Amino acid sequence: TCRLRNMLHSDDTQVMMAGLHDLQAARFEFEDGGETIVVHGNGGALARPANNKQIYLQNAGTAARFMATVVSLVHNDGNQEPVVITGNKRMKERPIGALVDALRSNGTSIDYLEGQGCLPLAVKGTTHGFKGGKIQLSATISSQYVSSILLCAPYAAEEVVLELVGGQVISQLYIDMTIAMMATFGIKVERLLDPATGRPSN
């Protein structure tokens, strides 16, 4: 159980919390007139939403990108239906293909239910959940894709090596923010040195 203060109260945070609640990943309560949110974790155990309920993310792009990786952690022995994440009409037009490609290359089964490269997604986890190992993402896409994988990396079956390729990393400060927050929970994220330059690689 942890307490978070000064949280931004927004549609993005509300739909993300609702999605995590549907997955039985956590339950939430407020203190101090809403200034403090108390998060009761569930030890990393996620479950499919009851009655095959879809996780509806409205127009929350951040929540959609984070949730795409989160639902890959849901255990599936091959007999369960996939978890479906969806959104409103505008959300169904926003791209998420680069993250889907990265997760697919890591062994996660993901199908597009409507438009190619966009929500809704049907994500079918495996017996090992998020596999881990080496994962590649384009350096020039949203840092939210990077944070999505980083935040789920501690639950991977193997150590995650995330390589950002093809250019200068954008929004590095948001990646650094994610890494710093993970460190407060005891998760070590290390930037590897580029053997050619001796400087931190992507």
Query: Is pLDDT above 60 for 197?
Result: no
Predicted local distance difference test score (pLDDT) of residue 118: 96
Report the distance separating Cα 118 and Cα 104, nearest Å.
14
Sorting pLDDT into bands at 50, 70 and 90, what band is 195?
A: low
Sorting pLDDT into bands at 50, 70 and 90, what band is 80?
A: confident
Sorting pLDDT into bands at 50, 70 and 90, what band is 56?
A: very high
Predicted local distance difference test score (pLDDT) of residue 182: 96
Nearest to 93 by CA among 69, 70, 71, 61: 61
Q: For residue 175, give every residue at least 6 positions away whose Cβ sits within 8 Å of its Cβ, in sequence order, or none.
A: 143, 146, 147, 150, 169
The pTM is what? 0.89
**Position 193: which residue type?**
L
Q: Read off the tokens for 60.
A: 């929350």
